[in-house]
Amino acid sequence: MTEHHIDIAYRRYAIAELPAEERALVEQARQATATSYSPYSRFQVGAALRLADGRVFTGSNQENAAYPTGMCAERTAFFAAQATAPDVPPVAIAIAAQTAGRFTPRPVTPCGQCRQALLEAETRYRRPIRVLLAGADDVYAISSMGALLPLNFDGSELER
Ligand code: THU
């Protein structure tokens, strides 16, 4: 038996410490929470995805009376970007959430399906996507979506 460990590094920034471009992306994710349709959870999530050419696509969670039919903010933004600009790699995503009229104190983290969905773009374009998880006062920055999904399935096993 051998035991192995995987480390995940994240950097914690005060919002004011972020470079201007990243601060702007966080602000766009925050603004996108306003377009959330979340009458069931009352948890309004916003995402802003920046592409390599500078374009930003935003998304918010869209819920449904048949709960599993709903969609997270991250995939809403990502699929909109891919459907509009299929040849342009995403390079960064910021995520924010509000509940009861306030941004969550703790940075919001993407669900497993969103991690997997965005991992596909890292594999497809061979470029990491920087992840900015925004809380009310600080932001966790992670260098790639793959780092948030250790031992992930990226499809390379299908190529045999
Ligand atoms: N949600 C997102 O949109 N993104 C996340 O990162 C976490 C969860 C949504 C799904 C659902 O509409 C609500 O938040 C509660 O889970």
Q: Which residues line ligand 1 (CB under 6 A)?
A: 38, 41, 43, 45, 61, 63, 70, 72-74, 95, 108, 110-111, 114
With vertex at residue 54, the alpha carbon angle to CA 93 and CA 72, rounded to the nearest 5 degrees, is 30
How many Å apart are CA 9 and CA 139, to the nearest integer?
A: 13
Residue 74 a catalytic site member: yes
List helix spans (H) across the chain. 20-32, 73-84, 112-125
What pTM was estimated for this model as a whole? 0.97
- Cβ-proximal residues to 118 (8 Å cutoff; 6+ apart), any chain: 74, 78, 90, 93, 110, 129, 145
Q: What is the DSSP letter of 65?
A: S
Predicted confidence (pLDDT) per residue in 40-87, tens digit = 999 999 999 999 999 999 999 999 999 999 999 999 999 999 999 999
Indicate which residue's Cα is closest to atom 8 of ligand 1.
72
As a 3-state breakdown, the chain gives helix, strand, coil percent values, each rounded to 5, of 35, 25, 40
Q: What is the CA radius of gyration of the chain?
A: 16
pLDDT digits (tens, 9 = 90+) for 25-38: 999 999 999 999 99
